[in-house]
Amino acid sequence: MTHRSTFFVLTAWLLLTTTAWAQEPAVKPLRAGLIGLTTSHVIAFTNVLNDPAATGPLADVEVVAGFTGGMKDNPSSWDRREQYTEQLSAKGIVIHDTIEEMLKHVDVVLLESVDGRPHLDQARPVIAAGKPLFIDKPLAGSLADSIEIFRLAREANVPCFSSSSLRYSSGFQAVRNKTSQFGDVKSCVAWSPMSIEPHHPDLFWYGIHGVEILFTVMGPGCETVTRAAQDKVVGTWADGRVGTFEARKGYGAEVEGTKSSGNAGTYEGYKPLVVEICKFFKTGKPPIAERETLEIYAFMEAADESKRQGGKPVSIKDVLEKAGYKK
């Protein structure tokens, strides 16, 4: 073959392959469905995910569908459902009459119902359909339901996780990953508001934020829980460290470390959590171990049990076993 012939062959090959590349369709984002349009999170998360300027993991997921839901005996759930449904519909989100119908049109699911009590029943069809599932706080309305959700997901091999947005604030993550100035954590006092909802254990409704901060900083391994006061819960870890939740305005944590002590961080919005949700949907790998999440809910359940017992220490292990947890 002459040099001229070789040149024409190579030129033709380049034109063909370039044309083929140009015709390859762009990778479509995962279609996400929202269950429970009863919290401001559904608007905030959709605004982040469906932003035309979204990049990185946020560009890999798009909210396309929703199911309204709502609990009539909880004004925080029932009274806001219509306005959030209308706002999402105005954004082009298709609202379905049932979860089962919605599942036909989505790849992944965010369970957002502000009331935790229906979470188990709402998670069942999602898990049965094999759709990766993020569950917003609270994971459920009881520790027993929380355990059952994870059991169903585990047995069906369906990726599932739950978290407060506070976990992913950069300061708390730095402490967790041992990249902060504090060194190893010796003790921690974490706080958040703790409004009470009568159908949930005291800390499930809003104290979960401060408790999630506490476990992000301290890590798992809490053994006993003492309700020192209505607005103060003290946990003792297996290695003797002490972690305390306090009900206060705002969000934060004071850390005593081996190198220094001080304030570890504060609330940084929803976006860091939404990024982690998108990564989870793409990889199918939960960023938080099931056992740690269940320990968080056992801590909060144990706080109520200690309150019922007049402030006596309560074993996390006993609370988990009573709720039906099996390793």
**Taking the CA of residue 148 as centre, how many other CA atoms within 13 Å lie in the half-sphere pointing to its CB?**
15
Nearby residues of 234 by Cβ (< 8 Å), 6 or more positions away: 225, 226, 228, 242, 243, 244
Q: What is the pLDDT of residues 208-236, one digit of tens each?
A: 999 999 999 999 999 999 999 999 999 99
- Superfamily per CATH, domain 166-272+294-322: Dihydrodipicolinate Reductase; domain 2 (3.30.360.10)
For the chain, percent of residues with pLDDT exceeding 70: 92
Q: How confident is the model at residue 327 (pLDDT cuts 50, 70, 90)?
A: confident
Helices 41-49 and 271-283 cross at an angle (nearest 10°) of: 70
Q: How confident is the model at residue 26 (pLDDT cuts 50, 70, 90)?
A: low
Mean pLDDT of all residues belonging to the chain: 93
- Hey, do 30-162 and 166-272+294-322 end up sharing a CATH topology, with the first three levels equal? no
The DSSP code sequence of 119-169 is HHHHHHHHHHTT--EEEPSSS-SSHHHHHHHHHHHHHHT--EEE--GGGG-
Helix (H) or strand (E) holding 105: none
Check pLDDT > 50 for residue 29.
yes
pLDDT at 139: 98
Q: What is the pLDDT of residues 53-89, one digit of tens each?
A: 999 999 999 999 999 999 999 999 999 999 999 999 9
Check pLDDT > 70 for residue 6.
no
Rounded to an integer, the average pLDDT of 203-209 is 97
Alpha carbon distances (Å) from 300 to 53, 178, 244, 304, 316:
39, 26, 12, 7, 10
Q: Domain residue spans in the chain?
A: 30-162, 166-272+294-322
Q: How confident is the model at residue 326 (pLDDT cuts 50, 70, 90)?
A: confident
Q: List the structure tokens of 184.
A: 């190893």
Q: What is the pLDDT of residues 130-170, one digit of tens each?
A: 999 999 999 999 999 999 999 999 999 999 999 999 999 99
Q: What is the pLDDT of residues 170-202, one digit of tens each?
A: 999 999 999 999 999 999 999 999 999 999 999
Edge-to-edge order in the sheet of strand 108-111? 94-96, 61-67, 30-35, 108-111, 133-135, 160-162
Calculate the CA 63 to chain-centre distance. 16
**What is the distance between the alpha carbons of residues 18 and 263, in angstroms, rounded to a whole number?**
55
Q: The domain 30-162: what is its CATH number? A: 3.40.50.720
Instruction: Give rounded-to-5 percent helix, strand, coil for the chain.
Output: 45, 20, 40
- Phi and psi angles of residue 244, each rounded to the nearest 5 degrees, phi first: -125, 135
